[in-house]
Chains A and B, each alone.
Chain A
Amino acid sequence: MNGAGQDGGLRAVFLAERPLFLRMLVARLGDVGEAEDVLQDLWLRLDATAVGPIADPTAYLYRMANNMAIDRRRRAARRLDRDGAWSHSRPDASEHPDAERMMIARDRLARVEAILARLPERVATAFRLYRFEELPQKAIAERMNISVSGVEKLLYRAYAKIHLRRGPAGEDDGQAVRLTQEEDRCDGR
């Protein structure tokens, strides 16, 4: 194994804080067995994952656990779609995008783009930088010359528009509207 102190440190943190991660995963997945599975996988990955210095190992492990939980939920969702076992001996059609899948993906992107086009420029810009360029919020703040909390508010508005279920009669939710006024106050340098 690699004897880097950092990895040993990460494993030690994992063992010390395991109950915390388990509690989060049980709440997240609603199933103790699934939560244990995720932690087992996570432990095995720690064995080999080479990482640089980590400022907050507990938060890092939480993040890993949460990502693995999302991964698991996505596989479950795909399984429901396909109604079959996920480790097929032959790659499943749904995992190989044919023209139809490509089209669905493009439609989805087009839908997001259409929503972005109707939003204020800064909201759309912040979202593109965050979601398509995967810049951290801090970097977006620097690039757009606003505060990090300003970026968070812009992103909130984009996410609310793209993902929030509409209220009755398809009106905006009050939160996003409220934020508009707030954000104008908070965008000060």
Chain B
Amino acid sequence: MAVEREDEAHADAIDWLLRLPTATAADWQAFTDWLEADEAHVRAYDALTLADADLDAAIVPPDWTPVMPAPRPARWRNRWSYTGAGGLVAAGVAAAVIVPQSATPPVGRIVETRAGEQRVLRLADGSRVAMNGGTRLAIADARERSVVLERGEAVFDVVHDEAHAFVVRSGDMRMQDVGTVFDVARVGHHLSVQVAEGAVLFQPQDARIMLSAGAALSHVDGGSTRMSGVAVDDVGGWRRQRLAFRETPVRLVAAALERSTGVAVTVMPNLQEVPFTGSIRVAGPADRMMPRVAALIGARAVRNGGRWTLVQRETPVP
């Protein structure tokens, strides 16, 4: 009977969905056999994976593209727990709190790096701030323990002091550290936060989202927030000449390249929002690096004097 066949296909599809994350090569072949056995199996599995992936959008509103779980080692994981009370809350101890900010912070010393230049600051309290290139930080006096990231990227490794919270501000967000290591990057209105150790509690309007080690957050000023995962070892990878991206729009990949290497990169409009997942080694001369990067993104790198432009593969050189 047709209905029974469909139901059975859907039941099998759930079994496969649950088994595949830990499947062996032999299991995958069995899965292939199952797909080939009946068109209804393909339809059932397809519908199920689409519906299941839609849950990501429910848990985390995507801002440019759905979050696709990459095949990931067990250490690479978002840990959130959901409460019926209407939000995601900290599983374990929250170590940093991000809240939208209103008051203008006091500004003391300004520290700036040129694109491609890196610098490590040691603050009076012993905290370390590793600045990537193209970064501008405003540091209030040492007693304040507060830093404003105006643009660029930095990894904060903060000495925890219960009595005096360390605060990083950027745009309309405020991150309060309670003993964690995290990377914050700002490009225009876009803010991204990646957590290597400890945890961050992020609070947009009426939700509370837990970020712990291995979690990443992407936020647009006054707008949307998206969460995804990051391999803990990849956080602040620019310090080791390696940039890792997951579902990151090419325009932000280009900004990261420019910050880290000093190579000026323009992205053609039709490539700007294309999501890129992968890891790029940023070493060696630009004319070796850029074509490699372009190939990974599925684009071409065109040189114009000192600037590079990423264009779609099929585009003829102007």
Footprint of B on A, CB under 8 Å?
1-2, 17, 20, 23-24, 27-28, 30, 41, 44-45, 47-52, 56, 58-60, 62-64, 66-67, 70-71, 73-74, 77, 87-91, 95-97, 101-102, 105-106, 108-109, 112-113, 117, 128-129, 131-139, 152, 155-156, 159-160, 163-165, 167-168, 173, 175
Residues A89 and B269 in contact, CB atoms below 8 Å apart: yes
When the two chains form their complex, are residues A63 and B10 in contact, meaning their CB atoms are under 8 A apart?
Answer: no
Number of B residues contacting the other chain (C-beta, 8 Å)? Answer: 79
Q: Which of A44, A87, A112 lies at the interface centre, i.e. has the most chain B CB atoms within 10 A of its CB?
A: A87
Q: Please tell me if B130 contacts chain A, counting CB pairs below 8 Å.
A: no
| Cβ contact within 8 Å between A49 and B36 | no
Instruction: Please tell me if the beta carbons of A62 and B271 are within 8 angstroms of each other in the complex.
Output: no
Confirm or deny: B63 has a beta carbon within 8 angstroms of a beta carbon on chain A: yes
Residues of B within 8 A of A97 (CB): 61-63, 224
Minimum CB distance partner of B46 in chain A: A73
B42 within 8 A of A: yes
By the criterion CB–CB under 8 Å, are B88 and A132 in contact? Answer: yes
Kindly provide the distance from the CB of A158 to the nearest chain B CB, expressed in whole angstroms: 9
* Known A2-B281, A45-B277, A59-B25: A95·B63 in contact at CB below 8 Å: yes
Cβ-defined contact, A159 with B81, below 8 A: no
Q: Are B59 and A173 in contact (CB under 8 A)?
A: no
Q: CA of A45 to CA of B247 in the docked complex: distance in angstroms?
A: 12
| 7 A-B pairs with the lowest CB-CB distances in the bound complex, closest first | A27-B35, A58-B25, A108-B58, A109-B58, A89-B269, A63-B71, A62-B28
User: How far apart are the CA atoms of A47 and B239 in the complex, in Å?
Assistant: 21
Name the B residues within 8 Å of A49 (CB-CB).
278-279
**Inter-subunit contact B42/A168 (CB<8 Å):** no
Q: List chain A residues, Cβ under 8 A from B63.
A: 95-97
In whole Å, how far is A125's beta carbon from the nearest beta carbon of chain B? 10
Minimal Cβ-Cβ distance residue in B for A167: B7
CB contact between A156 and one of B14, B42, B57, B274 (< 8 Å): that residue: B14
B74-A56 in contact (CB<8A): no
Q: Is the CB of B55 within 8 A of A131?
A: yes
Chain B residue nearest in CB terms to A179: B11
A-B contact pairs, 13 of them (CB 8 A): A17-B25, A27-B36, A50-B234, A51-B73, A56-B25, A88-B270, A113-B82, A132-B82, A133-B91, A135-B79, A163-B51, A165-B7, A165-B10
B107 close to chain A: CB less than 8 A: no
Using A1-B292, A97-B63 as known contacts, say yes or no to A89 and B270 having CB atoms under 8 A apart.
yes
B32: A residues at CB distance < 8 A: 20, 23-24, 27
